[in-house]
Structure formats: structure tokens, C-alpha cells
Structure 1
């Protein structure tokens, strides 16, 4: 980049209508011309911009401000450095009310041109979408949202596909929200009341186990007609939110002035995080600049982003290979639906004869609630061989593929099923069996059997039902010599909490009711496709690949252990941060899933989080230079702590179930609140109990 802007950084308060002040950090370009004004780009989230997230957000801040944007990071009310009582859950009306005023106050800054863009991934994608659809503050002119959601019930992490889900985020967000505010870390009665003794969010969500007003109020799928702002939407095949971009495009494109969609080989990160993504990335920050240059600046002389087709898809040829391609329409008009029938003999066939059409064989599956580790922690994260999972599934294979088959979109599935119990879940995975016999996950989806109707109702045991599933958005290429596989199970643990009844389920192989529809795309295979979109070939500039010298950790752990009565799954991650002010932070997140082999209702999720803060850790050139104690879970630096202020927050959360109830037991402890080893411990305990609601 030629002639980048120099910039200054400042902290300021944004005062809300009730007097509560939100903490805002601004990076402001130094004008090159008299009276030069700049648009503002806002990220608004609860992830502690001044300590836990500080190192993470710096590359984005530097990239954007040096290209002529005022960059604003704001901590949500009651989180991080902001004042106020901790919000009671994600995406509250209070969060959006404050967000409207935040946009207005930022736009009044005399250095601003009065135009604001919201951007970010995950939480900041969610609230960017909500602000653009449900609130419309006048100064908000465009958004850039990566890995967001249009449906807070089925397309978020609490009840994925309508089934209860638990993972480390549930622990980590609750744990960090209990910390005192940086940078003073005052631990007084006000902090204890407003944050430390807050009800855990998991307990709130268990009051709302079914879809309804609680989830729908801020789900933008119910307000597509209000989605009028221009939006750049980025989704990833290896992320849990892969559907949102195409769903919004298909339903809101007529209302919006412009929606641009990219679906690529991304995990829950931006495309330029190439060390995390399995396939080829590109400079996602450069795309953000192109987008906001057009919508927020007056001097954008190039209009190339508006001349490009709306849709860019990465057409996968494996888990790590493929090619980007423009599509000018959705649905793709040249798409053809290829129906394949789930048939007797564990076959997936394209044509049925008269004899087959008259038959209706039945395949039966024993419910094993502990299977599914290889399926990943959420849809899309599975990148290992699926054969160990498939051993416990109903599996149907096609003949060897003769001609290359390319698919793009949603795979529709129809199944006629029954269960010997009043509640069962069904999981369907589309897979690719390669020439070596290895099995690779392509896409999948789940259905809570009670949610086949609205309102939810239990199953009548042994009664056949025809259920419909739409597998999550995908692209894939099945090559000659491979086989197409459909795998069906009633569990995928630990991604989905098991249903509580022992049972068998049956699949009726009636070709009128049991089949899959593949969205095939003929005529433009990767080997003959036009050149890829130019923006996907632009890699991030070397000067913006920031050193990760001050962030580190131990390799993540994911292990499986089997004994006669139980299966145990262990996940663990340990990270370290060193901030410019000499604050060392370690964060340990550990999970232990235990599932009974004899009683499906007997499940337990035991979690453990520790966060250690040590101050005055100065003089180190990298996080790797700081010695770490091997004992005590390696969370403490091997330094003299007697002369340094330090404290530790520990959270232990146990979630378990029986046939009728879910139980939540939480214990928070803060050690050394005054920085000395002899100081007392602050403790908060919470216990919750919730009747299972068709889960």
C-alpha cells in the first residue's frame, strides 16, 4: 500500500441514555488534507478489547486505520471496560438500544464524515445484521458480516438444528464476563453485584428449549423485508454458520440495495487466517476496504466491486482443494436435481425398477448415544475419516461414480422412519468414499423428532413418519471411482445432547418417501471453469502479517476414552497473552463429556476454566520467553509473584441430565483479589434445574 495514513489511538466514554458509560477505543487517521473527514468502522462486542482480545484485534485495527477509516471498538454494557450491569444474555434489546446510540454518537465525531459501517465475525456479525435489519440507525450505511446467523434458534450454538448443544464457548463467555473491568481491575461490592454473581447464561437458555418469541425476536429471518442496507456476507464450509449468507441473499436481495456473498473454505475466522483455514484463503481485510470504500467514502473512483457478480463460491474438490468461482444468480438456473433412492442392500441408487418400487424393506438401527466423535464439535468441523462413526450408522453407498458430479447448494432428504421410544433425533451425513476407501464428510443436518410438527409433539412408538431434512449448504465434487454415501444415525455426540430413551429406530426403504435430492451443477467443472475472481487471488500484504510474539499457548487436546459402561471425551486448550502494559494472562479451558452406554439419559458435561493475571511482567520480547511452571496445570509463570500483583478467576461448571431434567451447577472463585497469597477467596455458587422440553 502506498502512502498509508499515520494514526493516533485514544480511549473515550460513550454515555448511554441512562447514564451508563460504554468504553470506546478509537484509532484515528491523521488527515493528509485540510478538513479531511473519515468514515467510522465499528466492532461492538463483549470480548474485552483491553486485555483478552487486545492482541487479537490489533492487526485489523492497523490495517483499516492506515487505509483511511476511524476504527472504533466498543465493549458492550457490563462487559470488558464498560460500565453497567452485565447483560443477561446474548443479543438483548438493551444491547441493540445501546448500539443505536453508539452509532449516533460516533457519527457526531467532528473528524467523521457521518457515515458508519459495522463489521466483524461471530458476535459482531450477529449484531451488525440485527442493527441493519431491526434498528436502522440513520448513520449506519453498510455492514460486513462474517460467520453470522439469521436464525438464533436452529442456526446458532445453543440448539443447533433444534437440539441442545454445549461447547467451550458456553463456559468461556460466562467465565470471562465475571472478570473485573480492565485496566484497574477493581474488585469491590459493585463488581460482585454487577458481574461476579450474575446468573450463568446457560441457565437462561434452558428456559427456552423450543423455538419461540425468545429466539425469534432478534432473528432477522423474520424481518427480511427490512434488510435494506448493503451487506457483504462471508461464510465458511468448516464453520457452524455456513448457511446464513445464502439464506439471507435468497430471501432479502430484493429489499437490499446490494448483497455480496462469499462462501469459502473457512473455519470460524477471516479468510486471511491461513494458518487456521484448511483451503486457500485471500486477503479478507482488503475486501472489507473495497466494500466500505464504495459505500462510506466520496472519493471511491473505482466501482469494480459493484460490477462483479453477487456470489462467489469455492467449489470444493476435497477438504483442502478447489477453486473460487463467480455465480451471477441464485438459485443457479442450470442446476439439476439428481434424486437418489436409499434402497435395500445398503445401496444408494439412481433408478428404481418395477420390482424395487413395489418393495418397502426396513432397516433397523440400535440407538447408541455415545457415537459421533468423528463428526466434529459442530457441523463442518469434521475433517477426519468418518469410518469409525459410520460403523454405528445405517450406511448406503452408490455404485462407483462414472462421470464427475459437482454439487452446490442444499441437499434435500426425505426419510420414512419410526422409533420404539417417544423421542428420537435423526442425523444425516452426505459423504465421499474415495478410491482408497477413506470416507470424507461433505455436509449433514439433524432433526429433533419432536419438531417434525409445530408445536412439538412426542412420537407415537413404532408409528411411521415421513420426515424432511435440508442438509447444510455445501459444494463438492465427486470424482470417477468414488462413491456417494449417506450415513444415518440417531446420535452425534458430543455435538448434540442425546435424547434420553433407549430404543431402536427403523428406516422404511420406500422409494416414494426415502431418498435424497442432490443439487448438481452440470457444465462448469473446475478444470474448464473461467479464471477465479481476481479478489480471491490477492494475498495479505507482508507488512500486515503481524507477529504473534505476544500470543501463544499449548496445543489443543481432543481425546476419546472407552470403558465398558461409559465413553469419555476430553477437550483442553491453554493460551497465553502478554500485553504492552506488562500484564501476563493465561487461560485454561477444559471439558470432559461423559456418556453412559447403558442409560442414554445419563450424560454429564464437566468444565473447568482458569484465568490468571500477573502484572509487571516486563522486559520480555515474546510470550515464549516467559518461563511457565509445569505444575498446577501450567497456568502460572515461573516468576516471583510475591512482588507482583496477581489474581486468578476459576470457574467450574457441571451440566448433566436424567430422563426428566437438566441440571446446572456452577462455582466461581476469585483468588488473591488484593494480589497477595494470604488474601481471602471470593466465591459464588449457582444451581439450576430445568424440565426437559422435547430434548
Structure 2
């Protein structure tokens, strides 16, 4: 990492209030070339709920001064009701948030230090709303950089997966956001108004999970903010970035395929992080320089070849032994000028044992295949404890460990040892001929690379709620005794299977805690000879143009003093042999406690626990607890939150609490108990 402070333009930082139409003010921090009034610059906006005054300030210091030093006004704005902004926050990606964002873009364009051209960037939430605001087409917004974000709020976010409730983050992320929305603004910024503002937030609190579970199919609630509903709405130039270790990576493939305007895609080995941040897996790249080239082209009319790059640059990963973290993931860059890539051919293998990596699926002929002997799939409920973290964050325990135990809890279909290396790039699919003995059920498919010594490395996976097999907008019960063909689309990847290894397809009916279990504990019957794995194979010699990136650069880091952390496991799986209960105990480890240069002492403790009995789908429990304290001189506040989600056969049950204190005195306590009917989820 190279830290840059020798910028072409001196940088100053100012705080500002941005008025909304209803009188609410959003707070902004602006990094600005000192001479911008005399020589105006384009503006770049990052728009988040994650508190620029504390939580994101170390990350903000890496990039906002960097952009300002290169001739941009780089602006960080807290969403309404978060951080130091006024108002209340009631949900994610609400209409109010998007409308506010459009107003912020227009305000920036009108400032005397701005040329009138604006770009947006962000990772995760900021990447989401960059796409959503671009779809509103504010005239000043010319380009965006969206990193680790999703175009589909229902089927590619933290709520549902394959039409099933995402147990690990439906509850866990709602608990995280409850902890965020419960925190006060900082009196250093808002003055004596901090306590009335905090009380307003606490009075308006409602756990987001209530709303999310009220919409268990893909209805209008989820279509709002999902830019996949109308890609043509976006005319700003889009640089879409993701990592193979991130759950949102498929969005990059869809954007480069469907956006009608200027678009480029970049898929590396990374976790849920900006690609210049030194968190595993690497290698990391000079991402700030790459984005500067993008901004200079679209906001300053620089003729710098930003659009001469291929439409998609992807990292094809070399095979490695299974591990929960890799400092660097070996591989190489390949490029495509169109997506889907004309270099890719679809090859299929019957799960009944006949290997065929040359015959394309489009002209496959099932005539002459027998039904073969059917197999039964019925997995113990703790299948999935070795799934790894849904949002790999670059921590030591994020990635899936050796899958041998998971494979043992699943029904596996192994190919013969490969005669030659097989590389894939894109989204594999598995077609299953199956029947279910209950009206409700879920099928989970994993594809693993099995080494000669038996080590099993997870390559990709997918989930299908059988009730959503005809579309995520409806729930159609299965009719037991009526076999059907279903297709499970797996998450995208770039991966090389070496010669001598086997490709394994593992099928299960449970995947806790990623997938909330169906109440009926169904068994599936699968006909292997009528089922197949379809792989997007990339032949040798189709790498495309060479790819080079500079070494990472950032602005000098913020002088933050990290606090000591408790000596506890980051990810612990335990099994009570007597009761049959399995417990996954997780420290999300978002950054821990720290002391900031302005004197703020911030402490953070978070814990998530997921429990289930191997034989009882109704024993599932997902819990989240947070404890936050913030202190400075005579200001001392704390927030404690807890959330717990369970289910009966007919309802999801959610219990949540918040306790907020100032100087040891209780400011507010809130309790919720909701029972929400189980419908599609």
C-alpha cells in the first residue's frame, strides 16, 4: 500500500447542511480542493446510513481526501435519520431515501465550487442507492461506481435466497440495523439538539425484519429499488465491481449484460470490501486510480481510454486447498468484450454418471436415457453449519472450510477424475428431476472441487424454494407424487478444476443458518439420469486482452487507536450430543472498539447465535445482540439491542428490545413481539 499526500491540489474539509423539501437537513462532510471556488470541480457523492462521524470515518479517510487531491469535491452524506442527519429512518432504500438522494445530487451540482457534474460511488448500501438514484436520471448525475451491490432487492440481498428466507441475515442484519438506527447524533456536530433528535429516532423505531417478513414473495415492495425491473432507466455510465467471495457478485454479470448505456464490469477474488483495502482474499489493486480514470473520463471529458477496456474483466481462480481465509487467491485476469461471453460453451454432465464436457446443452437429447434408480435426499437440519459467512468481510473465519462433513450430510453425485483441466466462468446450473413428499420444501445444490486426497473445496452453490419454482412472485405448493424438472441457478464464479480432481454435486434439503428450514422436513426423490450439471466452460486460449492494475494507493490513514477486544472465537460451532442441538456462535467483527482523533471513545460488542436440533426444523433460533457506547468528556451514551427470530409451522416469531442510556439514565426502552404468518418464505 502506498499512502499519497503529495496531491496536485491542497485539500480542505468542511461540514455542511443540505436542506430537503420538507425542511429536514442532511449532514455532509465535504473534502474539497482549497481553490475550488476559483477553479470549480465535479462532485462525487457517497450516501450511507453508517455514520461518517465514527463507523466509516477510517474508510472515508482513505478515499475522500484522495479524490479531493485529484480535483474533485468528495462528499460523504449521512442518510436521513442516521449519523448526524435530521429526521428518522424507517426502512432501507425507501422512497424517501431515493428522493433525498436526488435532491442531494441537485444541491451538489448547484454549489459555486462545483462544475455542475456529479458522480456517485459506494460499496454495498452506497452501491445500491447509486444504482437506484441513477435510475431516477437526475440531470447532473453522469457516472457511478457501484461496488458489491445488487440490482435485485428480493433475490440478491440479505432477506431471501432462491425464494427462501435467508436465516443468517434476515434476523442478523435486521439486528445490526436496529443497533444503527438506535444511536444518537453527535453533539459536536448538532449541538444541544442531539438529545431531542435521539428521542425522535427512538420513538420511531421499528425493526426492519417486520416489514421484510410481511413480504415473503417478490411483490411491489421488493420491485421498488430493484433496477433489474428496468435496466433502461439508467443512462449514467456504470462501473460495476464485485468479488467472487461476495454474495452480490452476480449483479455485475447482469449489469454488463443488460445495461443499454456505457458500462464496464470488474470481478476480482475479493470479499465485501473495496478492492484496494488490504483484507483477504487478494490480490488487491489500485482501485482508486482505476476509478479516477473513470471519473476523469465522464466528469472531466478526459480522453484517457477508460472506455477502451473490455466490457468485463474477471479473475479466474486457481484451485487451492479449502481454507477459511486466503491472503491471496492465485489466478489470472481474463477479459470479454461481450457478455454472455461468446468464448464460453455450455457443457453438461448427467448426475447419473455419464461425463460429457463437450456436448452443448442446447442440442442435448434425452431420448434413450433411462430413468435410472432414484435416490432419496433428506438432510439433517444442521446441514449448512460449514457454509461460511454470508458476507465475507475479510476476516479469518469467513470462507467455507473443507466441505467433507457437509458432503456427508448431503447426497453427492461425483464425476470421474478429470482427464484435463476444466475452467468455468459465469453461473453454472443444475437441472434436477425430482419429487417431494410434502407440499413445501427447499433444495440446496453445492458444486465442490474434490482433490485426490478427499479434500472438498466449495466452488459455487444455489438455493431453490420449491414453492417459487415458477417465479419468485408466487408460491405454488408441490404436489407429492408428481415429479417435475426444476433448475437451480448457482452463483457466478471463475474457477479452474485441475486434471485428476473430481467435480462433485452435493444436494441437500437443509442449509442452516443460511436457509430458514421448512416446517415439514420433506424428503426429495431425485432421478440422477434425468438430472445434470451444466457448466459455463471457458476453453484454453480465450483469455482476451491482457489486464494490468497499479499497486493500491490511498490517502494517509486516520489516526485511530484500536481498543482491545475480548479473547473469544470469531466463529464457533458446538454440538450437544445429548440433545442433538447445534449452535453457531459468531462475532461479526466489523472493526471493534476505537478512539478517534476528536476524542470520541467508541466501543462495540456484537454477537450472533444460530441454534437448531438436527431432527427438528421448528427448533431453529436466530439471535443478535449489540452493545454500543460512545463517550467524550461529559457525554456518555450507550445502546443495547437484542433480536430473536423463531418459527412455528404457521408463523415467524420475532422479539426485539432496545435500551438507550445517557449518563447512566434510561432515555428509552422499546420492546416488540410480532407473529407473522408464513406464506411464501
* TM-score normalized with structure 1 length: 0.89
State yes or no: 1:684 paired with 2:670.
yes
1:226 aligned residue (226, 233, 247): 233
Could you say which residue in structure 2 is the equivalent of 1:619? Answer: none
State yes or no: 1:656 paired with 2:656.
no
Q: Structure 1: how far apart are the matches of 2:652 and 2:21?
A: 39
Structure 1 residues 93-112: aligned runs within 5 Å: 93-112=95-114
Aligned residues: 645
Q: Would the aligned equivalents of 2:174 and 2:207 in 1 still touch at CA under 8 Å? A: no
Deviation at 1:186, TM superposition (A): 5.4
Deviation at 1:189, TM superposition (A): 5.4
State yes or no: 1:646 paired with 2:670.
no
Could you say which residue in structure 2 is the equivalent of 1:372? Answer: 384
- Residues 463/548 of structure 1: CA separation in 2 closer, same or farther (3 Å cut): farther
Structure 1 residues 79-90: aligned runs within 5 Å: 79-86=82-89, 88-90=90-92
Could you say which residue in structure 2 is the equivalent of 1:180? Answer: 184
Query: C-alpha offsets along residues 371-413 of structure 1, whole Å, 9 cap, x if unaligned?
Result: 1111223288644211110001111111111111111111122
State yes or no: 1:247 paired with 2:254.
yes
State yes or no: 1:16 paired with 2:58.
no
- Residues 493/548 of structure 1: CA separation in 2 closer, same or farther (3 Å cut): farther
- Residues 386/123 of structure 1: CA separation in 2 closer, same or farther (3 Å cut): same
Structure 1 residues 135-146: aligned runs within 5 Å: 135-146=136-147
Q: Would the aligned equivalents of 2:440 and 2:522 in 1 still touch at CA under 8 Å? A: no
Could you say which residue in structure 1 is the equivalent of 2:342? Answer: 333
Structure 1 residues 493-504: aligned runs within 5 Å: 493-504=512-523
Q: Would the aligned equivalents of 1:382 and 1:441 in 2 still touch at CA under 8 Å? A: no
Q: Structure 2: how far apart are the matches of 1:506 and 1:553?
A: 52
Q: Find the residue that maps to 2:529 and give its secondary structure.
A: coil
Could you say which residue in structure 2 is the equivalent of 1:570? Answer: 585
Deviation at 1:202, TM superposition (A): 0.8
Deviation at 1:279, TM superposition (A): 2.9
State yes or no: 1:615 paired with 2:617.
no
Deviation at 1:192, TM superposition (A): 2.4
Q: Find the residue that maps to 2:351 and give its secondary structure.
A: strand
Structure 1 residues 29-428: aligned runs within 5 Å: 29-31=33-35, 35-86=38-89, 88-133=90-135, 135-165=136-166, 166-167=168-169, 168-183=172-187, 184=191, 188=195, 191-252=198-259, 255-256=260-261, 258-274=262-278, 276-298=279-301, 300=302, 302-318=303-319, 320-343=329-352, 357-378=369-390, 382-428=399-445
Structure 1 residues 622-641: aligned runs within 5 Å: none
Could you say which residue in structure 1 is the equivalent of 2:480? Answer: 461
Aligned structure 1 segments of 4 or more residues deviating by more than 6 angstroms: 351-356
Query: C-alpha offsets along residues 316-362 of structure 1, whole Å, 9 cap, x if unaligned?
Result: 11352101122222222132221100016xx7666999998224210
Deviation at 1:573, TM superposition (A): 4.2
Q: Find the residue that maps to 2:209 and give its secondary structure.
A: helix
Q: Structure 2: how far apart are the matches of 1:66 and 1:556?
A: 41
Could you say which residue in structure 1 is the equivalent of 2:325? Answer: none
Deviation at 1:553, TM superposition (A): 5.5
Q: Structure 1: how far apart are the matches of 2:14 and 2:365?
A: 73
Q: Structure 1: how far apart are the matches of 2:495 and 2:27?
A: 45
Q: Find the residue that maps to 2:210 and give its secondary structure.
A: helix
Q: Would the aligned equivalents of 1:420 and 1:504 in 2 still touch at CA under 8 Å? A: yes
Q: Would the aligned equivalents of 2:449 and 2:456 in 1 still touch at CA under 8 Å? A: yes
CA RMSD of aligned residues (A): 2.3
Q: Would the aligned equivalents of 1:28 and 1:69 in 2 still touch at CA under 8 Å? A: yes
Deviation at 1:549, TM superposition (A): 4.4
Query: C-alpha offsets along residues 32-88 of structure 1, whole Å, 9 cap, x if unaligned?
Result: 8x93111100011111111222223111112111111101111111111111122x2
- Residues 330/553 of structure 1: CA separation in 2 closer, same or farther (3 Å cut): farther
- Residues 487/27 of structure 1: CA separation in 2 closer, same or farther (3 Å cut): same
Q: Structure 2: how far apart are the matches of 1:605 and 1:349?
A: 42
Q: Find the residue that maps to 1:684 and give its secondary structure.
A: strand
- In terms of mean alpha carbon deviation, does 358-367 or 104-113 score higher? 358-367
Structure 1 residues 577-588: aligned runs within 5 Å: 577-588=594-605
Kindly indicate whether structure 1 or structure 2 has the higher relative contact order, using CA contacts under 8 Å at least 6 residues apart: 2
2:547 aligned residue (497, 515, 533): 533
Could you say which residue in structure 1 is the equivalent of 2:561? Answer: 550
Q: Structure 1: how far apart are the matches of 2:377 and 2:558?
A: 51
Could you say which residue in structure 1 is the equivalent of 2:323? Answer: none
Q: Find the residue that maps to 2:239 and give its secondary structure.
A: strand
Q: Would the aligned equivalents of 2:509 and 2:522 in 1 still touch at CA under 8 Å? A: no
Q: Structure 2: how far apart are the matches of 1:465 and 1:349?
A: 23
Where does the alignment leave 5 or more consecutive residues of structure 2 unmatched?
Answer: 321-328, 393-397
Deviation at 1:435, TM superposition (A): 3.0
Q: Find the residue that maps to 1:294 and give its secondary structure.
A: helix
- Residues 548/172 of structure 1: CA separation in 2 closer, same or farther (3 Å cut): farther
Deviation at 1:104, TM superposition (A): 0.6
Deviation at 1:262, TM superposition (A): 0.4
- Residues 547/156 of structure 1: CA separation in 2 closer, same or farther (3 Å cut): same
